[in-house]
């Protein structure tokens, strides 16, 4: 049996030095910061290994039903702090390292976060596996070990330039490769029919090429509960590393070609998070990781080989459509390999999957051309056709004279080219389909999947997203967490509804005072960081107004920018006096998909406005605009706890949920937001008087769209909006060159798909209410405390309970 090292400073020092000497192979005095970081990580790992092995054994033995969370992205963030917290080693490690003359903060800063996701969807997966481990629910996360995660964003003269994310280059102490569990994955070729020994007509797939899936395990430690679940990420390798005859014939490059080709599959994360490019390599990634995962689960957990028990052993949650090719893959395994008949296989498959949809944007719904899918996965395309045929027969039987409906519901789209609608396939196969916030789930039922929800009303449900309070409160905001623990005692971190007990303290001047001091300290911490990493100096006393999320038109960074320019314009033209202005620092953090032109232009405009505003002596005491490059989980952990105001300003009906909105509320920022996604639920819980609502509601958006939206009319009828857009168009932020931002301005004036102009006036008015509220610091602090007290619902532990009750029906391990 594996044992854990002793939970003592001495024990920790011994472990750490042994790691340094034997694994890194250096003495303490000769070691680099990276050596020390790697050794520290390995030391902490040792405290988890015994529990990890034990956990896996228990799941196998008790045959507990597991969650298989299938996700192309897991945006984990740094691991060290979380592992120290989970093992309750923070103090011990700090003291132990101090004894070695090392400042632990320096080592923490050395870790490069695994950025294996784009944004909300990937970060949600990371929060969910944290919660499941904390709740002791057996779960295995399955995903892709990208060699390069989300690109590192830099700015060159204000424009985004992408750099490769080399997160593995200094070593990756948190992963365990398991070559003994490598899996072969096939691609291409054709299918053929044959008659088996029992005279049964069968199909077999004759693939053309294959690769090897190499699993890497990551520990997912529960919070101080001794539970450790597994995240298993797959890396592609050549099945045949080296072709010796070719090498001997003198062509080295050819000899390793297969390897290079195979390794391409998991080389890089696709940085688009809304417009699928229909790229063959992306479909290869998707099939690669789900084929590995299904094979892996069967081999490791269905030990007696009885695949009919699969629904008792696992529910595979499909995180958006990216893993949906798992549906025909499981059918193929059950029918072609396990030789089950079709109906039995389908009955099993339907119980083994559930589907979460994360979007409403029509252009984000994945479809794969049958030409491409059939070339790469010929057998899977046949299986999809058969699933569709049987499904449409059911639909036609239910609606005999409604051929139009059958065509609308078909998994196969005919226009503009014949393709597979992955969301429909997931809906047909899944035991449940859920949206990620109340409004989103409603819109799924009413619009995107309307016919399906009419046909299968019980299939549809909602699970509102959540975030892990371990990372986003305890680790990110130790000050506030300490105050809460002083006030409520321990226990709230795993029972976040207990934050409600803070309500009375909103009226307690001493508590508010402590709360405000913590916010100020968090701001100071942020400003030090921004000074060091971006060389910007920020004034301490401003209202800190933050908008951090992917750059997308529907999220409307441009609306916030219009508001900033509007204030600036009113100052420089003398329309308002400086003493009328609430001093504010505006922070943006956002990556644009590399091929998304308008998003990149918006980044350039933000940086251009920042440059002019920040260097204008007239406004220097009241306005600052900062855009730190490369917003990621690590930066979020310092930024969010410092914020006063959280910007959640998407056009109503477009943001499925949002999760940043929850992180801000839990850290005592007030929200200015539209009636969209989970904002709706935040506002209901914290109360209208503690939330700055503005903008069209979703039905109004739909109505305006239907009657015809003409953004130019808003420009004509609102003089301040006109002055704002005119200032941008005049070249004021582009050295007098009027052409630079012309495309952006024209887009707003004549297209404005996301109705920024329609909401501008209401937004500016809501911002004026923010100013008024902020002027009364006592009332503001009261609201901020109430935001924390009333946001306990947004713990991802609650989301997990909802998934368990409504979808998975699994049990915690004892
Ligand atoms: C979509 C695609 C499309 C194909 C190219 C690659 C790619 C990568 C990621 C995605 C995901 C888009 C959907 C998404 O991220 N949705 C976000 O999910 C969050 C968690 O539920 C939610 O809070 C956000 O509102 C929603 O935008």
pLDDT of residue 92: 98
Give dist(CA 553, CA 721) in Å, integer. Answer: 18
Question: Would the CB of 552 count as within 6 Å of ligand 1?
Answer: no
From 319, 356, 364, 802, the mutation candidate for ligand 1 (largest count of ligand atoms within 8 A of CB) is 364
Catalytic residue (one of 45, 295, 512, 549): 549
From 144, 272, 273, the mutation candidate for ligand 1 (largest count of ligand atoms within 8 A of CB) is 273
Ligand 1 centroid – CA 249 distance (Å): 48
Q: How many CA atoms lie within 13 A of 74 on its CB side?
A: 26
Question: Would the CB of 653 count as within 6 Å of ligand 1?
Answer: no
Question: Would the CB of 465 count as within 6 Å of ligand 1?
Answer: yes
DSSP reduced 3-state for 653: coil
pLDDT of residue 241: 62
- Whether residues 447 and 556 share a domain: the answer is no
Q: What pLDDT digit, counting tens, does each position of 775-806 carry?
A: 999 999 999 999 999 999 999 999 999 999 99
pLDDT of residue 236: 97
ipTM above 0.90, yes or no: yes
What does the DSSP 8-state code read for residue 266? G
Give dist(CA 418, CA 400) in Å, integer. Answer: 25
Q: What pLDDT digit, counting tens, does each position of 287-329 carry?
A: 999 999 999 999 999 999 999 999 999 999 999 999 999 999 9
Question: Would the CB of 359 count as within 6 Å of ligand 1?
Answer: yes
Domain assignment present for residue 141? The answer is: yes
Q: How far apart are the first and last CA of the chain?
A: 20
Give dist(CA 164, CA 227) in Å, integer. Answer: 35
Residue 659: active-site member: yes
pLDDT of residue 2: 74
* β partners of residue 367: 421
Tally of domains within the chain? 3
Phi, psi of 88 (to 5 degrees): 55, 45
Neighbours of 98 (CB within 10 A): 13
Q: Find the domain containing 25 and state its range.
A: 1-62+87-112
Residue 690's region, left for phi above 0, alpha for psi from -120 to 50, else beta, is alpha
Q: 768: pLDDT confidence band, cut at 50, 70 and 90? A: very high
8 Å CB contact between 210 and 187: yes
Domain assignment present for residue 486? The answer is: no
Domain assignment present for residue 128? The answer is: yes
Is the pLDDT assigned to residue 243 strictly greater than 70? no
pLDDT of residue 223: 98
User: ∠ CA(365), CA(752), CA(766), 5° rounding?
Assistant: 105
Residue 707: active-site member: no
The mean per-residue pLDDT over the stretch 257-276 comes to 84
Domain assignment present for residue 785? The answer is: no
- Whether residues 71 and 32 share a domain: the answer is no
Phi, psi of 315 (to 5 degrees): -125, 120
pLDDT of residue 242: 61
Is the pLDDT assigned to residue 249 strictly greater than 80? no
Q: Which long-range contacts (CB under 8 A, 24 or more apart) does 476-479 make?
A: 476/636, 476/637, 476/638, 476/640, 476/641, 476/667, 477/518, 477/522, 477/640, 477/641, 477/667, 479/518, 479/521, 479/522, 479/641
Give dist(CA 324, CA 430) in Å, integer. Answer: 10
**Which atom of ligand 1 approaches the CA of 465 most closely?**
21
Cα distances (Å, whole numbers) of residue 145 to 76, 213, 518: 12, 10, 38
Residue 573: active-site member: no
Domain assignment present for residue 522? The answer is: no
20, two tokens = 């340094």
Domain assignment present for residue 498? The answer is: no
Is the pLDDT assigned to residue 344 strictly greater than 90? yes
Q: What pLDDT digit, counting tens, does each position of 546-603 carry?
A: 999 999 999 999 999 999 999 999 999 999 999 999 999 999 999 999 999 999 999 9
Residue 555: active-site member: yes
Is the pLDDT assigned to residue 285 strictly greater than 90? yes
- Whether residues 56 and 149 share a domain: the answer is no
Q: What pLDDT digit, counting tens, does each position of 51-97 carry?
A: 999 999 999 999 999 999 999 999 999 999 999 999 999 999 999 99
Give dist(CA 653, CA 213) in Å, integer. Answer: 39
Q: Is the peptide bond before 416 cis (omega within 30 degrees of 0)?
A: yes
Give dist(CA 625, CA 136) in Å, integer. Answer: 44
Domain assignment present for residue 18? The answer is: yes
Question: Would the CB of 643 count as within 6 Å of ligand 1?
Answer: no
DSSP reduced 3-state for 583: coil
554, two tokens = 């529907």
Percent of the chain exceeding pLDDT 90 equals 93
pLDDT of residue 67: 98
**Which atom of ligand 1 approaches the CA of 276 most closely?**
4
- Whether residues 49 and 71 share a domain: the answer is no
Give dist(CA 239, CA 73) in Å, integer. Answer: 25
Cα distances (Å, whole numbers) of residue 781 to 85, 483, 516, 751: 29, 15, 7, 40
**Across all residues in the chain, what is the average pLDDT?**
96
307, two tokens = 């695949």
The mean per-residue pLDDT over the stretch 317-346 comes to 98
Question: Would the CB of 121 count as within 6 Å of ligand 1?
Answer: yes
- Whether residues 304 and 205 share a domain: the answer is yes
Question: Would the CB of 276 count as within 6 Å of ligand 1?
Answer: yes
* β partners of residue 700: none
Residue 663: active-site member: yes
- Whether residues 345 and 400 share a domain: the answer is yes
Question: Would the CB of 655 count as within 6 Å of ligand 1?
Answer: yes
Q: Between 142 and 277, where is the model more confident?
A: 142
Residue 517: active-site member: no
Q: 34: pLDDT confidence band, cut at 50, 70 and 90? A: very high
Q: State the CATH number of the domain containing residue 292.
A: 3.40.50.2000
Question: Would the CB of 658 count as within 6 Å of ligand 1?
Answer: yes
Q: 240: pLDDT confidence band, cut at 50, 70 and 90? A: confident
Neighbours of 119 (CB within 10 A): 20
Residue 29's region, left for phi above 0, alpha for psi from -120 to 50, else beta, is alpha
Q: How many CA atoms lie within 13 A of 377 on its CB side?
A: 27
Domain assignment present for residue 506? The answer is: no
- Whether residues 177 and 323 share a domain: the answer is yes
- Whether residues 70 and 101 share a domain: the answer is no
pLDDT of residue 1: 61
- Whether residues 92 and 108 share a domain: the answer is yes
What does the DSSP 8-state code read for residue 582? P
- Whether residues 545 and 453 share a domain: the answer is no
Residue of the nearest CA to atom 18 in ligand 1? 121
From 551, 555, 656, the mutation candidate for ligand 1 (largest count of ligand atoms within 8 A of CB) is 656
- Whether residues 365 and 258 share a domain: the answer is yes
């Amino acid at each position: 049996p594996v044992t854990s090292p002793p939970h003592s400073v001495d024990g920790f020092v011994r472990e750490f030095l042994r790691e340094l000497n034997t694994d890194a192979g250096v003495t303490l005095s000769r070691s680099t910061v990276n050596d020390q970081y790697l050794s520290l990580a390995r030391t902490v790992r040792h405290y988890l290994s015994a529990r990890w092995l034990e956990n896996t054994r228990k799941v196998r033995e008790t045959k507990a039903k597991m969650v298989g969370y299938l996700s192309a992205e897991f945006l984990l963030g740094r691991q060290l702090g979380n592992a120290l917290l989970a093992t309750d080693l923070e103090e011990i490690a700090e003291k132990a390292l101090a004894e070695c003359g090392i400042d632990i903060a320096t080592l923490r800063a050395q870790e490069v976060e695994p950025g294996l996701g784009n944004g909300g969807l990937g970060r949600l997966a990371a929060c969910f596996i944290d919660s499941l481990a904390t709740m002791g629910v057996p779960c295995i996360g399955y995903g892709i070990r990208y060699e390069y995660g989300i690109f590192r964003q830099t700015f060159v003269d204000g424009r985004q330039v992408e750099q490769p994310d080399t997160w593995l280059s200094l070593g990756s102490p948190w992963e365990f490769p398991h070559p003994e569990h490598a899996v072969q994955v096939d691609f291409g070729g054709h299918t053929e029919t044959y008659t088996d020994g029992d005279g049964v007509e069968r199909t077999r797939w004759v693939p053309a090429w294959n690769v090897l899936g190499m699993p890497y395990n990551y520990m997912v430690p529960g919070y101080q509960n001794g539970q450790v679940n597994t995240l298993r990420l797959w890396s592609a390798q050549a099945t045949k590393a080296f072709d010796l005859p070719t090498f001997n014939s003198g062509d080295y490059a050819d000899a390793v070609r297969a390897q290079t080709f195979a390794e391409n599959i998991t080389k890089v994360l696709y940085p688009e998070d809304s417009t699928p490019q229909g790229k063959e390599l992306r479909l290869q990634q998707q099939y690669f990781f789900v084929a590995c995962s299904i094979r892996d689960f069967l081999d490791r957990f269905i030990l007696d080989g009885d695949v009919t028990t699969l629904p008792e052993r696992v529910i595979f949650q499909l995180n958006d459509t990216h893993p949906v090719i798992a549906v025909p893959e499981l059918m193929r395994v059950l029918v072609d390999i396990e030789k089950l008949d079709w109906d039995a296989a389908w009955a099993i498959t339907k119980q083994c999957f559930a589907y979460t949809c994360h979007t409403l944007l029509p252009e984000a719904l994945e479809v794969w051309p049958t030409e491409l899918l059939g070339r790469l996965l010929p057998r899977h395309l046949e299986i999809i056709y058969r699933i569709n045929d049987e499904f449409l027969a059911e639909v036609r039987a239910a609606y005999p004279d409604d051929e139009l409906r059958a065509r609308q519901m078909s998994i196969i789209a005919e226009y503009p080219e014949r393709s597979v609608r992955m969301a429909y396939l997931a809906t047909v196969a899944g035991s449940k389909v859920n949206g990620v916030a109340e409004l989103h789930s409603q819109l799924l039922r009413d619009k995107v999947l309307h016919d399906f929800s009419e046909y299968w009303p019980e299939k549809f449900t909602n699970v509102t997203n959540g975030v892990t309070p371990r990372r986003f409160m305890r680790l990110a905001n130790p000050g506030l967490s300490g105050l809460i623990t002083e006030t409520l005692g321990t226990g709230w971190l795993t029972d976040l509804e207990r934050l409600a007990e803070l309500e009375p303290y909103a009226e307690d001047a001493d508590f508010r005072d402590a709360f405000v001091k913590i916010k100020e300290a968090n701001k100071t911490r942020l400003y030090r960081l921004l000074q060091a990493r971006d060389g910007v100096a920020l004034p301490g006393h401003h209202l800190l107004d933050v908008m951090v999320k992917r750059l997308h038109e529907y999220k409307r960074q441009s609306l916030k920018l219009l508001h900033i320019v509007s204030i600036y314009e009113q100052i420089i033209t003398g329309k308002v006096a400086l003493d009328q202005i609430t001093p504010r620092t505006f922070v943006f953090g956002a990556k644009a998909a590399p091929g998304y032109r308008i998003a990149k232009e918006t980044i350039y405009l933000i940086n251009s406005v920042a440059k002019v505003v920040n260097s204008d002596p007239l406004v220097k005491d009241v306005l600052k605009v900062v855009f730190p490059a490369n917003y990621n989980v690590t930066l979020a952990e310092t930024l969010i706890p410092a914020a006063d105001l959280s910007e959640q300003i998407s056009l109503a009906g477009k943001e499925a949920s949002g999760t940043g909105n929850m992180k801000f509320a839990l850290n005592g920022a007030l929200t200015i937001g539209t009636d969209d996604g989970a904002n709706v639920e935040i506002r209901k819980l914290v109360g209208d008087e503690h939330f700055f609502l503005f903008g069209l509601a979703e039905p109004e958006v739909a109505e305006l769209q239907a009657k015809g939206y003409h953004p130019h009319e808003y420009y004509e009828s609102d003089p301040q909006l006109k002055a704002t857009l005119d200032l941008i168009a005049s070249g004021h932020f582009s050295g007098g060159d009027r052409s630079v931002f012309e495309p952006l301005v024209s887009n707003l004036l004549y297209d404005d798909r996301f109705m920024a102009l329609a909401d501008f006036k209401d937004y500016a008015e809501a911002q004026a209410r923010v100013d008024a509220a902020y002027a009364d610091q006592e009332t503001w602090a009261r609201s901020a405390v109430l935001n924390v007290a009333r946001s306990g619902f947004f713990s991802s532990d609650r989301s997990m309970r909802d998934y368990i009750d409504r979808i998975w029906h699994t049990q915690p391990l004892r």
